[in-house]
Structure formats: C-alpha cells, structure tokens
Amino acid sequence: MNSLFEMRSPLYIKYADGETRLVEALFEHPKGVLYFELFWENDPKYSIHIIEGEIKGEGPWKVGDCSFHVLGCNHTHPQLCEMQSYWRQEKMLNPENFRGDELVKIAAEKGAILPENIAVNLDQYEG
C-alpha cells in the first residue's frame, strides 16, 4: 500500500468543487489529514488545513470530500507545475522568506500525529 504520508513526490489536493491546491507538507491528524499549502507563510490562517475523514485508497487518496494526488508534470497539470517550479525557485533564491523549520512545531500545535522519525514528507522537494 502506498502511504500518503510516505510520498516523496509533490502532491496536490482536489476539493469536491474542483478547486486544487498544491501541498507543501502533510501530516496524519486524529480527524484525518493536516496539510500546508505552498507559500503558507504568507497567510497561515488560510493556508493550513485539516481535512476530516478516513483516508482511503492507494493513490489517489480520498479523505472526506477531497482527494490527494501525485502532481503529474507531463502536460497534465501545467498551471500547478508552473506554481510548483516557481515555489522551488523562490525557496532556493530567497530562503529567508520560508519557515519550513516551523512545520513540525505548528503541526504538533494543531494536533498532528507526528511519526517516530518526524521527517515525514518534509524533505520531498529538496534535491
């Protein structure tokens, strides 16, 4: 079984209304999944989400009314891929604008179930 929390590839979430958002990091949560959008640092109040529901599937993964997918960059999701590339470039060129070192702390404060090795899906975009 492909665990959603062990994925090292970029992910996106698709909401029931068709809206999609890119995932920077995600954690298991007692209510389902806690995830951080790309550029969550710009507006943490609206960019850190708990999706309630049982996790089903082996990819894509269904949680509540949403689904998590591996980002496909072979012309299947051009806008999402462009945003992913921009985020990676910004993270490399302007690391002072990012607070990735705070992800685990914030996740814990929001009730995430932290894994024993704690680095779940955090280094997925590092080279």
For 41-95, the pLDDT digits (tens) are 988 888 999 999 999 998 899 999 999 999 986 678 889 999 999 999 999 999 9
Helical residues (DSSP H) of 24-110, grouped into ranges: 44-47, 78-93, 103-109
Count of CB atoms within 10 A of residue 126's CB? 10
Mean confidence (pLDDT) of the chain: 86
| pTM of the predicted protein model | 0.84
- Give me the pLDDT at residue 50, please: 96
Average pLDDT of span 5-25? 92
- Give me the pLDDT at residue 27, please: 92
| Greatest pairwise CA separation for the chain in angstroms | 38
- Of the CA atoms within 13 Å of residue 109, those in its CB half-sphere come to 7
Q: Determine the Cα–Cα distance for residues 120 and 123; give it in Å rounded to an integer.
A: 8
Give 99 or 31, the one with higher predicted confidence: 31
